[in-house]
């Protein structure tokens, strides 16, 4: 699991709210800003956001659970998101999923010990004509096969070594 970030979330959130505003429509932009800067939105930050926007903590947490690009746990440097929607489901998502688990050494919903990889499902990513499909951070892959997964993962391991 990647390291949690210990910081003064009160002042981080106050700075972001100062630029994004404290209306309820600012919720998603604020969450995105924190996700982008810190890699996740910790419980402490969620509490500060709820206070600043006059929302319940449950509402903030619900929004984070709804959007696959928001997380409340630290994630790996490379986040593999395999599409689980119908076209991909029907075209071998299960087999590709097993190949991903095996190549990454983690199950869906997990992050590798070295903090390099996270693996999760996502809903349709607009690649329904090339199923099964996945995202690795912002990179899009379609027509995946179980056999091709090892090479894709090896590429990211190399990139990880260069970081």
Q: Is 136 in the site for ligand FES (CB under 6 A)?
A: no
Alpha carbon of residue 120 to chain centroid? 8
Coil, strand or helix at 23: coil
Tell me which stretch binds ligand FES (CB under 6 A): 13-21, 51-59, 83-91, 109-117: 83-91
Closest to ligand FES by CB, 46 or 85: 85
13 binds ligand FES (CB under 6 A): no
User: Residue 83 interacts with ligand FES (CB under 6 A)?
Assistant: yes
Separation between Cα atoms, residue 159 and residue 146, nearest integer Å:
21
Task: Candidates 26, 34, 133, 153: give the one binding ligand FES (CB under 6 A).
Answer: 133
For position 100 contacting ligand FES by CB under 6 A, the verdict is no
144 binds ligand FES (CB under 6 A): no
Q: Which of 117, 76, 88 is nearest to 100 (CA)?
A: 117
Is residue 5 a contact point for ligand FES (CB under 6 A)? no
Show the tokens assigned to 161: 């070594």
- Tell me how far, at minimum, the Cβ of 39 lies from ligand FES, in Å: 25
- C-alpha pair distances (Å), 74 with each of 28, 83, 123, 154: 18, 21, 21, 22
Written as six digits, the tokens of 137 are: 């951070």
# binding residues, ligand FES (CB under 6 A): 12
Contact 147, 95 (CB under 8 A): no
Q: Could you list the residues that contact ligand FES (CB under 6 A)?
A: 83, 85-88, 124-128, 131, 133
């Amino acid at each position: 699991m990647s390291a949690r970030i210990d910081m003064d979330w009160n002042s981080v959130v106050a700075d972001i709210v100062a630029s994004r505003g404290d209306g309820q429509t600012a919720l998603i932009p604020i969450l995105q800003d924190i996700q982008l800067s810190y890699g996740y939105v910790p419980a402490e930050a969620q509490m500060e956001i709820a206070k600043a926007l006059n929302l319940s903590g449950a509402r903030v947490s619900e929004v984070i659970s709804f959007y696959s690009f928001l997380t409340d746990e630290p994630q790996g440097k490379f986040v593999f998101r395999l599409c689980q929607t119908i076209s991909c489901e029907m075209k071998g998502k299960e087999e590709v999923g097993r190949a991903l688990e095996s190549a990454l050494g983690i199950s869906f919903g997990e992050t590798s010990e070295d903090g390099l990889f996270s693996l999760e499902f996502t809903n349709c990513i607009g690649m329904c004509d090339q199923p099964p499909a996945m995202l690795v951070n912002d990179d899009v892959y379609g027509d995946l096969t179980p056999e091709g997964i090892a090479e894709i993962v090896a590429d990211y391991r190399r990139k990880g070594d260069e970081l």
